[in-house]
């Protein structure tokens, strides 16, 4: 491409060129004093104060055009990159276990909590898994009614154990202790153990496995 | 003083950034800024873009033989703009090769490889080699058919050169391709090669800054004395060239809908392996040498060309950089490039005229499309080929093997006491059956012997064809090609008025007769009904020998089996044309 817009060699002095980093030509740079060492020696036939001042609009045009083109080049890849990077924000990357899952015959559950593993098909980005353990629940009868708690501690997600001697649930990580009805007795857990939906079809107990936000007072499904 | 200035001043006091900036921005360009100097900058831009895109791809990629393909398919077809970014990365590699050659040509034309710039030349050549190493290692990473088979050729060449076998085993992490191959290629592609390239790039640019641009040889002293600064003159050209490159790259990526992704690598299959276009000249070279001469194509010629490039600064004995005085060198370079282009074109032309290759390629593309559609449902952790288990027909085949193969044969070829199912319900099949229902492929091995064969004397060929067409016309749109109405009408008339078929067979929907009702014979619904209960009066009634599967299989399984059987029709019925063919 020819460059009719300017003649090669018509460059300004160092001070002017520096406008690239600081558009305010009026404000001299601290080191840009008259006694500052001159720019690298560039033989500059046409250069000189007058030539330099005449160059300013063209220089600004070139810088502006360079900036615009450069921004376009960066955006060509940059915009879709942002799209790909934030993909997990508004897409369900993993899924599985949202439906009721068979947990066992109703006769298997009594006043003492029983831990059941819940199996379901699962998706994880590009994989699908058939019938894998998606989570576990503590199941017991409270005043005759079936209740299921997620084994995930509402505090920071450790797996809650049951202490049969004390008849209480205990989180082994940070010592949160829960009553059989899930209420917090002591420890850092911000809310009671998370109850899961339970239903009974014929004699089969089914549990809907869900995960909830950790570390907050409210029980918010993820 | 603005806040930004204060921060800059603070930094400058400590790091001397203004001086660094001066150095970078005000570098003189003797003889003035020129478009011909842009190629190096465009290469730097492309490399940086490859790095950034590579990081994004790596954040969606899983380097294992089981996961790689599925993760790339997920990126390609699910992730926002995934196909575009992957395409930009793949085509970006191609663009680097193009610009690399332009850069090389410009450097050779300008004589910029001559003293004192030999080190610039060699570091540049080394980086060029790295670009090809990037391409080679990156090609395998999707672990698709194309990458897998094309890379086999490359590592095969490595293994065939003297002393190359241990290197091949080291490179691919064993005697065969597997998990270690992919982890090694990944490590090379994303850690080793970028590190090496970056080191060389720093050296290359440092040397370039030391010696400056190489202006055209014909410039006079006074012309040379007129210099531009790098900023804003040369950088404007540089960024302009980057923008043009980016524009072409984006257009190309959108037009091609990104980089191709074939079906997952299947080590037991065969595939029309072709390397990326910029390797085609090497690929073509392999075709011309056989036996002990193979090394000429794999090592001697490429080695000589490389040696020529490396030795260029010594081969050039001219007094000045003027092209006229360097004709031998320029001619050698021209011959080299012409040879590369000619070989590449020859490879393309051969493939274009090769029907078998084109057919294999079309089949591979159809399989790729099918695999990627199936991958949308998630790929089982076995990975790769396991994607095809998402195909409902896969499940049907499994049930067939379990429940049906014992009698009907593993390949539906028929068994000791049950008919074959190959081509079931086609026009030819129906015609053959009427001619000889007691043939082994029909009821010969069963106890059904009520139907008599009809010889051409009893039933001339044209009447048989008409009757068959009448039966076929009841299949609706499940038969291909569609029924011929005129012929079917003729058949209907024969059926009703002349022939005795209707004494046993009904052909009204739902009607019961001594023989099977032929309405919709061969359709998925007809077959499904038969599988569910052959004893139904519409089929074989109480004489049926085949067990009823209605109680053993659920409706979906029976439907899947029926589709599988219907798909065996060689005429290509609509239901499941993708089914495998067996002999």
* pLDDT tens column, B15-50: 999 999 998 888 889 999 999 999 999 999 999 999
| A144/A199 same-domain check | yes
Sign of CA dihedral B215, B218, B221, B225: negative
Do A37 and A110 lie in one domain? The reply is no
Nearest to A11 among B49, B229, B243 (CB): B229
Close Cβ partners of B80 (under 8 Å, ≥ 6 residues apart): A80, A83, A84, A86, A87, A91
**Same-domain status, B334 and B276:** yes
- Strand extents, DSSP E, B8-139: 28-30
Q: Cα distance from A131 to chain B (closest Cα, Å)? A: 11
In this structure, the answer to whether residues A192 and A161 fall within a common structural domain is yes
A30/B contact by beta carbon, under 8 A: yes
Quote the mean pLDDT of chain B.
92
What is the distance between the alpha carbons of residues B453 and A43, in angstroms, rounded to a whole number?
A: 106
Binned at pLDDT 50, 70 and 90, residue B570 comes out as: low
Q: Is residue B420 part of a domain?
A: yes
Q: Which of B35, B70, B81 sits opposite A1 (nearest CB)?
A: B35
Interface contact A127-B378, CB threshold 8 A? yes
Task: Give me the pLDDT at residue A22, please.
Answer: 40
Q: Shortest CA distance to B568 belongs to which of B339, B377, B409?
A: B409
Give B437-477 pLDDT, tens digit per residue: 999 999 998 888 888 899 998 899 999 999 999 999 999 88
Residues in chain A within 8 Å Cβ distance of B227: 9, 11, 42-44
Q: Please tell me the predicted confidence (pLDDT) of residue A30.
A: 43
| A38–B contact, CB cutoff 8 A | no
pLDDT tens digit string along A128-144? Answer: 999 999 999 999 999 98
A44 at interface of B, judged by CB pairs closer than 8 A: yes
Angle at B20 between CA B15 and CA B26, to 5 degrees: 160
**Residue B316: DSSP 8-state:** -
Together in a domain, B132 and B117:
yes
B224 and B322 share a domain?
Answer: yes
Number of domain units in chain A: 2
Alpha-carbon gap: B367 to the closest alpha carbon of chain A (Å): 19
Q: Which residue from B minimizes the CA distance to A122?
A: B378
Contact at CB, A43 and B226, closer than 8 angstroms: yes
Tell me, what's the pLDDT at B40? 96
Question: What's the total number of domains in chain B?
Answer: 3
Nearest residue of B to residue A46 by CA position? B226
- Looking at the structure, tell me whether residues A134 and A76 fall in a common domain: no
Residue B539 lies in a domain: yes
Percentage above 70 pLDDT, chain A: 76
pLDDT value at position B391? Answer: 87
Q: Which domain holds residue B20?
A: 1-26
Q: Is the pLDDT of residue B264 over 60?
A: yes
For the residues B520-534, what does the mean pLDDT come to? 93
Q: Would you mind telling me the total number of residues written for chain A in this entry?
A: 222
Full residue range of the structural domain in which residue A26 is found: 14-88
Burial B72-91 (b: 16+ CB within 10 A, else e): bbbbbebbbbbbbbbbbbbb
Q: Tell me the pLDDT band of B482, cut-offs 50, 70 and 90.
A: confident
Q: B501: Cβ–Cβ under 8 A, 6 or more apart, which residues? A: B467, B495
Residue B99 forms part of a structural domain: yes
Query: Which range among A19-33, A189-203, B122-136 shows the weakest confidence by mean pLDDT?
Result: A19-33
- 3-state SS, chain A, equals CCCCCCCCCCCCCHHHHHHHCCCCCCCCCCCCCCCCCCCCCCCCCCCCHHHHHHHHHHHHHHHHHHHHHHHHHHHHHHHHHHHHHCHHHCCCCEECCCCEEEEEEHHHCCCCCEEEEEEEEEEECCEEEEEEEEEEEEEEEECCEEEEEECECCCCCCECEEECCCCEEECCCCCCEECCCCCEEECCCCCCCCEEEEEEECCEEEEECCCECCCCCCCCEC
- The residue ranking higher by pLDDT, A17 or A208, is A208
User: How far is A20 from chain B, CA to nearest CA, in Å?
Assistant: 8
User: Rounded mean pLDDT of B173-179?
Assistant: 95
**A30 or B34, higher pLDDT:** B34
Question: How much is the pLDDT for A34?
Answer: 41
- DSSP letter, residue B384: G
- Phi, psi dihedrals of residue A54, rounded to the nearest 5°: -70, -20
What does each C-alpha distance from A28 to A15, A31, A32, A50, A55 come to in angstroms? 8, 8, 6, 18, 18
Query: How far is Cα B502 from Cα B496, in angstroms, rounded to an integer?
Result: 7
Percent of chain B residues past pLDDT 90, beyond the cut: 75
Nearest-Cα residue of chain A relative to residue B4: A22
B569 sits in the region (left: phi over 0; alpha: psi -120 to 50; else beta) called: beta
Q: Half-sphere exposure of B470 toward its Cβ, with a 13 Å CA cutoff? A: 21
Q: Any CB–CB contact under 8 A between A127 and chain B?
A: yes
Do A70 and A158 belong together in one domain?
no
Give residue B258's Cα distance to chain centre.
Answer: 12
**Residue B366: which of B89, B213, B539, B577 has the closest Cα?**
B577
pLDDT (0 to 100) of residue B211: 93
Query: Is A8's CB within 8 Å of B32's CB?
Result: yes
Which residues are CB-contacts of A89 (< 8 A; sequence separation ≥ 6)?
none
Q: What is the spatial distance between Cα B435 and Cα B417, in angstroms, rounded to a whole number?
A: 20
Q: How far is A157 from chain B (nearest CA, A)?
A: 25
* Residues constituting chain B: 583
pLDDT tens digits, B191-235: 999 999 999 999 999 999 999 999 999 899 999 998 888 989 999
Q: Which helix (H) or strand (E) holds B371?
A: helix B355-375
A28-37, A191-200, B307-316, B490-499: least confidently modelled range? A28-37
CA atoms within 13 A on the CB side of B374: 24
Residues B114 and B237 in one domain: yes
Are B7 and B85 part of one and the same domain?
A: no
Q: Does A125 score more than 90 pLDDT?
A: yes
* Per-residue 3-state assignment (H helix, E strand, C coil) for B119-149: HHHHHHHHHHHHHHHHHHHHHHCCCEHHHHH
| Whether B551 and B494 share a structural domain | yes
The answer to whether the CB atoms of B56 and A85 lie below 8 A apart is yes
pLDDT of residue A8: 43
Of A27, A91, A123, the CB nearest to B378: A123
> Residue B120: how many CB atoms within 10 A of its CB?
23
Q: Decide if the complex's ipTM is over 0.85.
A: no
Instruction: Identify whether B116 is preceded by a cis peptide bond (ω within 30 of 0).
Output: yes
Domain boundary among A68, A88, A108: A88
Indicate if A41 and A107 belong to the same structural domain.
no
pLDDT at A12: 37
Q: Quick check: is A80 in a domain?
A: yes
Do residues B85 and B180 share a domain? yes
Helices (H), ranges, B144-234: 145-160, 164-172, 179-187, 193-211, 221-225
Alpha-carbon span B487 to B312, nearest angstrom = 78
* CB-CB neighbors (< 8 A) of B209 in chain A: none
Residue A7 lies in a domain: no
Query: Crossing angle, helix B118-140 and helix B145-160, to 10 degrees?
Result: 130
CATH of residue B102: 1.20.810.10
B375 to chain A: closest CA residue: A126
**Sign (positive or negative) of CA dihedral B528, B531, B533, B534:** positive
Within a domain: A218: no
**Same domain as B398, residue B317:** no
- Do residues A210 and A198 lie in contact, with contact meaning Cβ atoms separated by under 8 Å? no
B-chain residues within 8 Å CB-CB of A48?
A: none
B301 in any annotated domain? yes
Same-domain check for residues B186 and B206: yes
Cβ within 8 Å, pair A9-B32: yes
Q: Which residues in chain B are closer than 8 Å to A22, comparing Cβ atoms?
A: 5
Whether residue A46 is contained in a domain is answered as yes
Q: Is A175 found in the same domain as A161?
A: yes
Answer yes or no: do A121 and A193 share one domain: yes
**pLDDT at site B432:** 93
Longest Cα–Cα distance in chain B: 111
CB of A25 within 8 Å of any CB in chain B? no
Q: Cα Rg for chain B, rounded, in angstroms?
A: 35
Running DSSP on this structure, what letter comes out for residue B35?
A: G
**How many CB pairs (< 8 A) connect A and B?**
155
pLDDT of residue A96: 79
Mutation choice for B interface testing from A65, A73, A123 by most B CBs within 10 A:
A73
For B71, name the nearest residue in chain A, comparing CA atoms only. Answer: A126
In this structure, the answer to whether residues A107 and A201 fall within a common structural domain is: yes
C-alpha distance from residue B312 to each of A9, B329, B465 (Å)? 33, 8, 77
Claim to verify: residue A128 and residue A195 sit in the same structural domain:
yes
Report the alpha-carbon distance of residue B418 to residue B411 in Å, rounded. Answer: 13
B559 preceded by a cis bond (ω within 30 of 0): no
pLDDT in tens, B381-416: 999 889 999 988 888 888 998 899 999 998 899 988
The verdict on a CB contact (< 8 Å) between A11 and B227 is yes
Q: Residue B374's closest CA among B69, B120, B10, B111?
A: B69
Q: Hey, which residues does A120 pair with through a beta bridge?
A: A132
> 3-class DSSP state for residue B397?
helix
Cβ distance of A77 and B28 shorter than 8 Å: no
Q: Which residues fall within 8 angstroms of residue B495, CB to CB, at 6 or more apart?
A: B467, B470, B501, B502, B507
């Amino acid at each position: 491409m020819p460059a009719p817009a300017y003649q090669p060699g018509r460059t300004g002095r160092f001070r002017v060129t520096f406008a690239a980093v600081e558009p305010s030509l009026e404000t001299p740079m601290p080191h840009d004093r008259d006694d500052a060492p001159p720019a690298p020696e560039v033989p500059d036939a046409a250069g000189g104060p007058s030539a330099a001042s005449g160059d300013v609009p063209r220089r600004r045009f070139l810088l502006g055009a360079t900036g615009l083109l450069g921004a376009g080049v960066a955006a060509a890849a940059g915009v879709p990159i942002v799209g790909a990077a934030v993909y997990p924000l508004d897409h369900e990357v993993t899924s599985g276990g949202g439906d009721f899952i068979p947990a066992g015959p109703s006769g298997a559950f009594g006043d003492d909590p029983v831990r059941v593993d819940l199996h379901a098909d699962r998706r994880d980005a590009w994989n699908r898994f058939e019938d894998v353990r998606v989570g576990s629940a503590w199941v017991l009868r409270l005043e005759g009614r079936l209740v299921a708690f997620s084994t995930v501690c509402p505090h920071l997600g450790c797996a809650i154990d049951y202490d049969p001697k004390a008849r209480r649930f205990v989180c082994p990580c940070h010592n949160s202790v829960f009553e059989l009805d899930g209420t917090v007795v002591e420890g850092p857990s911000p809310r009671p153990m998370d109850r899961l939906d339970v239903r009974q079809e014929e004699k089969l107990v089914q549990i809907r496995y869900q995960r909830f936000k950790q570390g907050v007072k409210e029980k918010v499904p993820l | 003083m603005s806040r930004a200035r204060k921060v800059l001043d603070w930094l400058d006091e400590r790091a001397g950034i203004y001086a660094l900036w001066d150095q970078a921005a005000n570098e003189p360009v003797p003889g003035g800024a020129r478009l011909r100097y842009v190629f190096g900058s465009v290469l730097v831009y492309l490399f940086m873009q490859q790095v950034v895109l590579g990081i994004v791809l790596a954040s969606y990629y899983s380097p294992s033989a089981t996961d790689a393909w599925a993760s790339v398919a997920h990126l390609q077809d699910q992730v926002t703009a995934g196909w575009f970014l992957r395409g930009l990365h793949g085509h970006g590699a191609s663009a680097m090769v193009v610009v690399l050659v332009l850069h090389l040509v410009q450097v050779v034309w300008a004589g910029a490889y001559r003293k004192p710039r030999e080190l610039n030349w060699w570091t540049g050549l080394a980086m060029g080699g790295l670009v090809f190493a990037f391409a080679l290692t990156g090609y395998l990473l999707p672990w698709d058919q194309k990458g897998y088979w094309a890379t086999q050729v490359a590592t095969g060449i490595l293994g065939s050169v003297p002393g190359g076998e241990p290197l091949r085993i080291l490179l691919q992490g064993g005697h065969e391709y597997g998990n270690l191959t992919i982890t090694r290629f990944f490590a090379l592609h994303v850690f080793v090669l970028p590190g090496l390239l970056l080191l060389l790039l720093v050296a290359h640019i440092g040397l370039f800054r030391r010696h400056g641009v190489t202006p055209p040889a014909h410039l006079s002293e006074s012309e040379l004395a007129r210099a531009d600064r790098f900023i804003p003159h040369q950088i404007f050209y540089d960024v302009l060239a980057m923008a043009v490159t980016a524009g072409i790259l984006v257009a190309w990526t959108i037009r091609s809908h990104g980089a191709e992704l074939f079906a997952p690598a299947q080590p037991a299959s065969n595939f029309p392996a072709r390397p990326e276009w910029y390797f085609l000249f090497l690929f073509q070279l392999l075709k011309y040498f056989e036996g002990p001469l193979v090394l000429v194509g794999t090592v001697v010629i490429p080695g000589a060309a490389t040696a020529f490039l490396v030795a260029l600064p010594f081969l050039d004995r001219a007094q000045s950089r003027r092209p006229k005085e360097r004709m031998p060198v320029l001619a050698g370079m021209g011959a080299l490039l012409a040879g590369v282009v000619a070989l590449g074109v020859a490879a393309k032309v051969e493939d274009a005229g090769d029907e078998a290759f084109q057919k294999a390629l079309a089949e591979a593309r159809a399989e790729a499309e099918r695999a990627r559609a199936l991958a949308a449902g998630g790929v089982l952790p076995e990975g790769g080929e396991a994607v095809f288990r998402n195909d409902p027909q896969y499940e049907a085949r499994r049930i067939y093997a379990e429940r049906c193969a014992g009698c009907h044969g593993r390949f539906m070829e028929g068994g000791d006491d049950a008919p074959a199912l190959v081509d079931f319900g086609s026009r030819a099949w129906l015609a053959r059956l009427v001619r000889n229902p007691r043939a082994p492929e029909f009821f010969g091995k069963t106890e059904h012997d009520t139907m008599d064969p009809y010889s051409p004397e009893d039933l001339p060929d044209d009447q048989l064809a008409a009757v068959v067409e009448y039966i076929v016309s009841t299949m609706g749109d499940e038969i291909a090609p569609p029924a011929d109405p005129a012929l079917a009408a003729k058949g209907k008339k024969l059926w009703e008025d002349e022939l005795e078929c209707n004494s046993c067979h009904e052909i009204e929907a739902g009607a019961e007769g001594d023989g099977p009702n032929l309405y919709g014979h061969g359709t998925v619904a007809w077959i499904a009904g038969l599988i569910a209960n052959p004893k139904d009066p519409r089929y074989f009634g109480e004489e049926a020998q085949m067990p009823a599967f209605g109680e053993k299989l659920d409706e979906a399984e029976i439907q899947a089996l029926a589709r599988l059987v219907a798909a065996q029709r060689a005429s290509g019925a609509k239901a499941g044309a993708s089914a495998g063919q067996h002999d």
